């Protein structure tokens, strides 16, 4: 794999991993708790061309992170069915979150939002098969997607943005293409420890970012993940990520605690 010629596309895009969606691509949408983690997990998969996080499954016309209404946090995945199937994506969905327990609030519920009749029928069939194997019910809703509301920029590729040096530098390099780049989706997954190690190294070796960025990408991708783990630490990390205006902290913290139930 080689870099594209300067000026032809985004500065780090690889052959075979374009910003534009491949012809014949399909889209899947899942709710499986906080959307930051699923965004990274799906982004590391070969065949996934783009990931976005947002809000869906509700009726409010203009949801936001601090005013979700009856919507759920979801990840939307654009993928190439020639490389990865909808069943493959569902397998990731089942394997990477607690599908047997009811979420404490609608914001974090487990839900498959089907884009067509085939996806709806496949999800129903897979849920039934899982329940039969496990001998218990799945607390997973299966619905048809009505509208997907894109989440705020600060939540897109959150795991990548949260890494010192890496997030800011890559967002500057990519500009408006940061959200939709396949390579950024991969890197968002890699820095969270997802993806095959050999594949991660192949992608990193093909990139040509500033040396400091490449060093940090390799460090985080190798498993040096020390991001906050407790709810309070994650809340404070979220505050640092969204804004540094101290005058807004009290209102932010009150809202964050309410969202935790």
Q: What CATH number does the domain containing 219 carry?
A: 3.30.1060.10
**pLDDT, position 9:** 41
Q: What pLDDT, in 10s, does the model give residues 98-126?
A: 999 999 899 999 999 999 999 999 999 99
Residue 206 confidence (pLDDT) above 70: yes
Number of domains in the chain: 1
Cα 53 off chain centre by: 6
> pLDDT-derived band of residue 231, with 50, 70 and 90 as boundaries?
very low
**pLDDT, position 199:** 85
Query: Does 35 fall in a domain?
Result: yes
DSSP-derived 3-state class of residue 112: strand
Query: Does 248 fall in a domain?
Result: no
Question: How would you label 169-193 residue by residue, b for 16+ Cβ within 10 Å and e otherwise?
Answer: bbbebbeebbbbbbbbbbbbbbbbb
Query: Does 244 fall in a domain?
Result: no
Strands in 110-114's sheet, in edge-to-edge order, are: 141-144, 110-114, 26-32, 72-79, 48-56, 149-150
**pLDDT, position 169:** 87
Q: What string of DSSP letters covers 69-83? A: TT-EEEEEEEE-TTT
From the candidates 9, 21, 34, 236, which is the catalytic residue? 34
Query: Does 237 fall in a domain?
Result: no
**Mean pLDDT score, 11-29:** 64
**pLDDT, position 201:** 84
Query: Does 251 fall in a domain?
Result: no
Residue range(s) defining the domain that contains residue 125: 1-227
**Mean pLDDT score, 222-251:** 51
How does DSSP classify residue 243? -
Query: Does 159 fall in a domain?
Result: yes
| Catalytic residue flag (residue 224) | no
Among 9-13, 59-63, 195-199, 240-244, the least confident range? 9-13
* Residue 169 and residue 213 in contact, taking contact as beta carbons nearer than 8 Å: yes
**Mean pLDDT score, 121-139:** 97
Query: Does 36 fall in a domain?
Result: yes
Q: What angle do CA 81, 25, 155 make, to 5 degrees?
A: 105
Kindly give, in sequence order, each residue whose CB lies less than 8 Å from that of residue 189, ignoring residues fewer than 6 positions away: 40, 41, 42, 43, 44, 45, 159, 195
Helical H runs in 135-243? 158-161, 166-174, 182-190, 197-206, 211-221, 231-242
Cross-strand bridge partners of residue 17: 14
Query: Does 258 fall in a domain?
Result: no
Share of the chain above pLDDT 90, in %: 56
């Amino acid at each position: 794999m080689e870099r594209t010629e300067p000026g032809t596309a985004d500065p780090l895009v690889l052959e075979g991993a374009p910003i534009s969606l491949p012809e014949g691509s399909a889209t899947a949408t899942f709710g499986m708790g906080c959307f930051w983690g699923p965004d990274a997990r799906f982004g590391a998969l070969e065949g996934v061309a783009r990931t976005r996080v947002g809000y869906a499954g509700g009726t409010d016309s203009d949801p936001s992170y601090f005013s979700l209404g009856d919507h759920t946090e979801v990840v939307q995945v654009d993928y190439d069915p020639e490389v990865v199937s909808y069943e493959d994506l569902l397998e990731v969905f089942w394997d990477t979150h607690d599908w047997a327990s009811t979420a404490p609030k609608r914001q974090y519920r487990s839900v498959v939002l089907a884009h067509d009749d085939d996806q709806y029928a496949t999800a129903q069939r897979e849920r039934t098969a899982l329940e039969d194997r496990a001998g218990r019910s799945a607390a997973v809703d299966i619905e048809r997607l009505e509208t997907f509301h894109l989440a705020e920029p600060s939540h897109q590729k959150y795991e990548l943005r949260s890494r010192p040096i890496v997030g800011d530098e890559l967002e500057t390099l990519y500009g408006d293409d940061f959200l939709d780049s396949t390579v950024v989706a991969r890197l968002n997954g890699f820095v969270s420890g997802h993806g095959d190690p050999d594949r991660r190294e192949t992608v990193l070796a093909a990139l040509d970012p500033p040396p400091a960025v490449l060093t940090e990408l390799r460090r985080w991708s190798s498993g040096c993940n020390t991001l906050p783990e407790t709810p309070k630490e994650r809340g404070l990390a979220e505050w640092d990520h969204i804004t540094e205006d101290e005058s807004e902290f009290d209102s932010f913290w009150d809202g964050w605690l309410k969202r935790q139930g």
